[in-house]
A and B are shown apart, each in its own frame.
Chain A
Amino acid sequence: MGRIKTIARRTFLIGSAAIAGGVAFGYVMYKRPAANPLLDGLEDGEAALTPYVLITPGGITLITPHADKGQGAYSMQAALIAEELDLRLDQIKADPGPPSPAYYNTALSQDAVPFRSTDDSFIAETSRAIMDAPIKFLGLQITGGSSSVPDSYEKLRIAGAVARETLKAAAAQKSGLPVERLTTSDGAVHLPDGSAISYVDLAPIAAGIDPVSDVTLRSHDQWRLIGKPMQRIDIIAKSTGTQAYGIDQNPPGMVHAAVRLNPRRGAVKGYDASTAEAMRGVLKITAITGGIGVIADNSWRAMQAALAIEPDWGPAPYPAEMADHWQVLENSFTRKHRDSRLRDDGDIGAALSGANITEAEYRAPYLAHAPLEPVNATVLATDTRLDIWTGTQIPRFVQKNAARIAGLDTDDVHVHVLMMGGSFGHRLEDDVVRHATELALTMKGTPVKLTYSREEDFAHDYPRQIAMARGRGAVKDGQVTGYDLDIAMPSVMSSQMSRQGLPIPGPDAQIIAGAWDQPFDIPDYRVTGYRAEGLAPISSWRSVGASSNGFFHDCFLDELIHAAGADPLAERLRLCWHAPSRKVLEAVGEMSDWGSEMGPDRGRGVAYCLSFGVPTAEVIEVTNTKGGIRIDKAYVAADVGRIIDPVNFDNLMKGGVVFGLAHAMNCEITFAGGAPEQSNFDAYEGMRLYQCPDIEVRGLETGAKIRGIGEPPVPPAAAALANAIFAATGQRIREMPFSKHIDFI
């Protein structure tokens, strides 16, 4: 067990600092322990055992710092702690805790370095470790990039084990028995005589003793919770309308706010609010950054008044018309715009000089995130502090930005992170909190809840990147031998982080994510990224660069395989050298009975994408009916190394497939006159239940590292659908949304 002890010591520099009734278990941050944020305000009899376990006379709270946007992160994190702490999930409360550098995300660095996730060489692992330092240093408590599970898997089990052993030591002190004779279960330490002392009763003693840091993690066969179906801790609340989201906040005396923002993101040259000011319930109308805010006594009245304002908007700082956006992309395939060429195997120039060359151009549009809960924030400002209640993936940025607006220290800004009604990356932005803070500062002492109308949420979203790809490939003797893909898109990382004041130097790996790092042995194989400049600001959208590139890379490969006259599944398998990837391809082949007869007007397509370290394969079956394409079946297999909860895994896999298919079918954001043309779900419908295929899921656990599943099912979905439509109809669709080229039922 030497390895686990090493991890424990390296990860937790545990030292206790006795304070009134509490205990400090510091958590290392860049060699220096970051203060345990739970120690503020501890009462007598309360103990904060590590930054993740808080025991008070009222019960046990597990701190789950990764935000829950619907992916079950709170349950997953609580289960990891509870596994080692010997608690039942119905015995605990989960709380996201305060924003703190103690909760920095150690897993983000995994994808921040230009090494393929399949590369476990010394230099790749060393680079990941070095990248961890600045992320620690910045204390980036971020939820995203399918990193919650990898970041939590060891850290939270160790936190649970440290707390358990410390509580046992406390029980040993109280009972006079040696610790070896004590056991734990169901939130209590059990004595050999059959009696038990609850953790809550032990907390005051635990707070006064040295924490036990020399812990051994349990092996897989000892697990009670991990790997077994769990009931999500939020499932009853979410089935009874009792789950409180940000939009449901209602502190005493609260007023409601709405905004009218320049949909072109240009200047606010002026506005006439005389009609709006006279409307019932309106309390205040004021200019805010990028638009106008209305405070009223009811959300609807605020939204109606916002609509009655007559604004004078300045022009967009990016091309006003869609054709010009595409033109910028078309013009970006030049040496001047080249961002990276991280894959250049063999001699692609020679490969493409012969006959049998296939060429194709692919496009993917801007997309809205459009979580069903519009963004919102409730802010209470006083002269000395701010309280912010909101659903966010970036609590520390929220804290910093609000502090700057209010002219306060970040310590005086208290962010209360709430359950989110979806995000898909939307809540990696914090404009709504900045606007709510500006409004609350005009009404100090009164909580102000700002809710964007659905139309403002669409108009003020930072959309998914627009992207284009140009492929050229060669086939010979029934095999794919040459593959060259050029991808042009704006840099999402540069756009997104610029709004947080963080310049991101160097190439953006997202421009080529899901394409350059695919584990295929094609003899002549090149992937080049081009950075498009001057387009609309964009943000991370579920699976980020791979959301467009997974479609481009796999569909073009499918074209080459058909040009070679090979079987789509067999040729992918022949080209693939990575064992877990081969297994997911083989799995969907077996699940779909690949190769079996389908009948007239039907087709089957396979697609594969490695994203966020997770190899994922999908097979889609469609029928070309008189009413349009019907998606009959979907089969999806992914390897995440270790599945924490098979029920939640199944749900997220299916949801990811639906998300990928939905946007491929009929969603796009287009600009006209500088403003987005789609403003609600009538023009951005996605998938409805009658269009949803039966989906069969298989999770594999052969990969070396544990990974998250929030994003990986998305990138192959569009490709598998396009490949299936080609198989059924002979029509090759190279542009999303597919509804521009073919009807769906």
Chain B
Amino acid sequence: MKLSVNGTDYEVDVEPDMPLLWVLRDELGFTGPKYGCGIGQCGACTVHIDGVATRACQVWAEDAVGEITTIEGLGTPDALHAVQEAWITHQVAQCGYCQSGQIMSAAAYLAENPDPTDADIDDAMSGNLCRCGTYPRIREAVKSAAARLREG
């Protein structure tokens, strides 16, 4: 089975119904996407497939067709994505475990809608749980990332 992750093609030998999350984490070593619930409730495993925010625990390996981007492919400590910069400026993270997924959800949403209202942000980000309660900072960070992206 072939997968394209962060611009590189991989050949994996897995069951067709193995969730993409576990292919990424245990077969390919991408640990940015996190296991939180396995049922699409928490969003910690969020990746992009062809730019669309997707719960990697809910996609079978055989259905993971398209270019997969994990947080490792969004930006790096030396070359940050605008959303990651905003997350650092606002010091969003506490435990940080949900933040890969939060950032991936925000990045995909802002690519589609760079000028969201507060209600838009609430809607777009409510699929991602944060048990530490960093929601107020997530709101601020999404807003400032949106402003950055609009500036280009």
Contact = CB atoms under 8 A, between A and B. Distances in A.
A123 interface: no
A150 B42 CA distance: 34
Contact of A370 (B15, B99, B131, B134): B131
Contact of A240 (B15, B84, B122): B84
Nearest to B42: A681
Chain B interface main SS type: loop
A158 B57 CA distance: 48
B88 to A, nearest CB: 5
Interface stretch (A65-73, A78-86, A395-403): A65-73
| Interface hub of A238, A280, A682 (most chain B Cβ within 10 A) | A238
B125 interface: yes
Interface residues of B, number: 62
Contacts of A423: 95
Contacts of A300: 18-19, 21-22, 26
| Interface hub of A372, A658, A685, A694 (most chain B Cβ within 10 A) | A372
A659 B135 CA distance: 11
Contact of B94 (A72, A256, A301, A451): A72
A135 to B, nearest CB: 27
B65 interface: no
A640 B126 CA distance: 32
| Interface hub of B32, B34, B36, B95 (most chain A Cβ within 10 A) | B95
Interface in A62-98: 69-72
B91 A374 contact: no
Interface string A38-75: 00000000000000000000000000000001111000
A168 interface: no
Interface string A355-388: 0000000000000001111100000000000000
A723 B116 CA distance: 34
B136 A454 contact: no
A372 B39 contact: no
Interface stretch (A227-235, A562-570, A581-589): A227-235
A692 interface: yes
Contacts of B98: 372
A423 B127 CA distance: 21
A298 B21 CA distance: 11
B147 interface: no
A680 B41 contact: yes
Interface stretch (A244-252, A527-535, A599-607): A244-252
| Interface hub of A657, A681, A694 (most chain B Cβ within 10 A) | A681
B68 interface: no
Given A372-B130, A655-B133, A657-B133, 14 more contacts: A238-B99, A239-B93, A240-B80, A248-B31, A300-B18, A371-B131, A373-B97, A421-B34, A422-B94, A423-B95, A651-B137, A659-B133, A689-B126, A690-B122
Interface of A: 69-72, 231-232, 234-245, 247-248, 250, 256, 280, 298-301, 370-374, 419-424, 451, 453-454, 647-648, 651-652, 654-659, 662, 680-682, 685-690, 692, 694-695
6 contacts: A298-B22, A298-B27, A299-B22, A658-B133, A659-B131, A692-B136
Interface of B: 14-15, 18-19, 21-22, 25-27, 29, 31-39, 41-42, 44, 70-72, 74-77, 80, 84, 87-88, 91-100, 103, 121-123, 125-139
